[in-house]
Chains A and B, each alone.
Chain A
Amino acid sequence: MRVQAGLRHFIFYASFLVFISHTGGYVLELVQGKQPAYLSFPGAFSVSQSFLLYDRNEIFTWRYKLELIYPGEVVSVPDSIINRRLSSSERHLFTLGDYTGSLARVKEPLVRYYFCDLSSEILPFKEEAPLSVRWIFSDRTETRVLAEVPCRI
């Protein structure tokens, strides 16, 4: 019985250490001003990796916009369409960042899956998919293109 109880406590404290390491990781990233755990995520946009190194002081007001790029024409995706297409957590992921660094996990196929066929909703007369979807980051101080995902491969 004692061995069994000891084993139970050992498993609990081992799990607890893993749990605590999440808080520790958060402290570490605060100290370092970045989110090291997510930077090495394979296949993430390289641009969003640099984005994650962005000053954490600005992180709470980042904002994303999406643009569809047609030959000779750029069309902004209205928020209403983004809202309709995405669930609340997805909307959170794409359009209003949080401080978990989850955007580093967004990959090109996901953007393509969600947004490349938006032309039918935004511009009904367009028969073809846009050339690409441009993903734009903006805050108080700057606006920059984070990624441009090709729709026609």
Chain B
Amino acid sequence: MKASYSSFVRMAFGVWLLVFFLQSALAVKRLEFLAEQFGFLPPAVIQVMTMAGFLAALSFATGKAVRISSVVLLLSLHALLFAIPRFRTVVFPHISIVLVIFALYYQAGILSERKVWYLPLFLGIYAGFSVSGISKLFFGLWNNGEMVRGQCDLSLAATLGICENLPSARLALIVAVIEVASFPLVLLSRTRPLIWAVSTLLHFLIIFFVPQFSTRTGFFLVQLFLFDPAWMSSPPYAQRQTN
């Protein structure tokens, strides 16, 4: 991964984590209450981990001590999620594996040894999308668009009045088909950039049509992480022609 793109992705994740820990730090009294109720970790530990996470996110975003910051971020993030289970959303395993990669492979501004981690990660994430898509296809209430409409009513799009005339059943089907196609298409190097582009666009739009803003922006960042700058310099189609 080229230095400039790696830095861009690192900064984007850093800002996302910074906002997460800033929100946590601002809501520390509430967190204490929740931690007391759930009783996993003492409130003092929550405070310390929140502050540590905030400082590590700052360091990560600015590119200082990135590997150590990644480890601190992993520890503080999981301490918070452990203490307050309701914070756990499906995006955190994705964020965590990205941080693990930064902790292990970030050197001199680039993510090294791409051959080791890139394809397994891509396949793993897109396998998850396909499983999600298959499950959607079997739910009648997804297929008739009620779920899409229900989510839209709570989203940013609802404030613009877009949800009223949304062809929700058709959109639900399109989303499910894209998700189901994700894994098979990512297996082939020729179709990988195409499904990445479609999936990234989908995740970008989902930010506006589904509530839980931070979760959805997190998924969008994971998509950006999967972008391969080599696609721009030597597209798979061009490679095929020259070969």
| Chain A: CB-nearest residue to B151 | A96
Contact digits for A8-23, partner B, Cβ 8 Å, 1 yes 0 no: 1101110110111011
Is B167 in contact with chain A by the CB < 8 A criterion? Answer: no
- The interface-forming segment of B48-56, B97-105, B196-204 is B97-105
B121 lies within 8 A of A16 (CB): yes
Distance between A82 CB and nearest chain B CB, rounded to angstroms:
12
Distance between A30 CB and nearest chain B CB, rounded to angstroms:
5
Residues of B near A113 (CB, < 8 A) are: 33, 37
Give the docked Cα–Cα distance between A103 and B155 (Å).
20
Residues of A near B33 (CB, < 8 A) are: 113
Give the docked Cα–Cα distance between A23 and B126 (Å).
10
- The residue that A15 contacts in the complex, of B97, B116, B135, B142, with Cβ under 8 A, is B97
- The interface-forming segment of B87-95, B224-232, B234-242 is B87-95
Give the docked Cα–Cα distance between A5 and B107 (Å).
13
B212 lies within 8 A of A102 (CB): no
Query: Interface residue tally of chain B, by bracket?
Result: 35 or more
Contact digits for A49-82, partner B, Cβ 8 Å, 1 yes 0 no: 0000000111111000000000000000000000
Distance between A15 CB and nearest chain B CB, rounded to angstroms:
4
**How many of chain A's residues have a CB under 8 angstroms from any CB in B?**
37
Is B178 in contact with chain A by the CB < 8 A criterion? Answer: no
- The interface-forming segment of A87-95, A115-123, A126-134 is A87-95
| Chain A: CB-nearest residue to B213 | A88
| Chain B: CB-nearest residue to A100 | B90
Give the docked Cα–Cα distance between A68 and B237 (Å).
63
Distance between A103 CB and nearest chain B CB, rounded to angstroms:
9
Residues of A near B128 (CB, < 8 A) are: 22-23, 26
Give the docked Cα–Cα distance between A9 and B86 (Å).
32
- The residue that A60 contacts in the complex, of B88, B105, B150, with Cβ under 8 A, is B150
Is B15 in contact with chain A by the CB < 8 A criterion? Answer: no
Is A27 in contact with chain B by the CB < 8 A criterion? Answer: yes
Residues of B near A91 (CB, < 8 A) are: 154, 211
B143-200 contacts to A, CB under 8 A, are 146-147, 150, 154
Distance between A91 CB and nearest chain B CB, rounded to angstroms:
7
| Chain B: CB-nearest residue to A93 | B86
Residues of A near B132 (CB, < 8 A) are: 26
Residues of A near B212 (CB, < 8 A) are: 88-89, 92
A60 lies within 8 A of B147 (CB): yes
B91-136 contacts to A, CB under 8 A, are 93-94, 96-97, 100-101, 104-105, 113, 116-117, 120-121, 124, 127-128, 131-132, 135
- The residue that B100 contacts in the complex, of A12, A30, A92, A109, with Cβ under 8 A, is A12
Q: Which residues of B approach A to under 8 Å, CB–CB?
A: 33-34, 37-38, 85-86, 88-90, 93-94, 96-97, 100-101, 104-105, 113, 116-117, 120-121, 124, 127-128, 131-132, 135, 138-142, 146-147, 150, 154, 211-214
Extra contacts, 11 of them, besides A12-B105, A60-B141 (Cβ < 8 A), are A16-B121, A19-B93, A19-B94, A20-B124, A22-B90, A26-B135, A59-B139, A61-B147, A92-B154, A96-B154, A100-B90
Q: Which residues of A approach B to under 8 Å, CB–CB?
A: 5, 8-9, 11-13, 15-16, 18-20, 22-23, 26-27, 30, 41, 56-61, 88-89, 91-93, 96, 100, 102, 105-107, 109-110, 113
- A selection of 19 A-B contacts at a CB cut-off of 8 Å is A5-B113, A11-B100, A12-B101, A15-B97, A15-B100, A19-B93, A20-B124, A23-B124, A26-B128, A57-B139, A60-B147, A60-B150, A61-B147, A61-B150, A88-B211, A89-B214, A96-B154, A105-B38, A110-B34
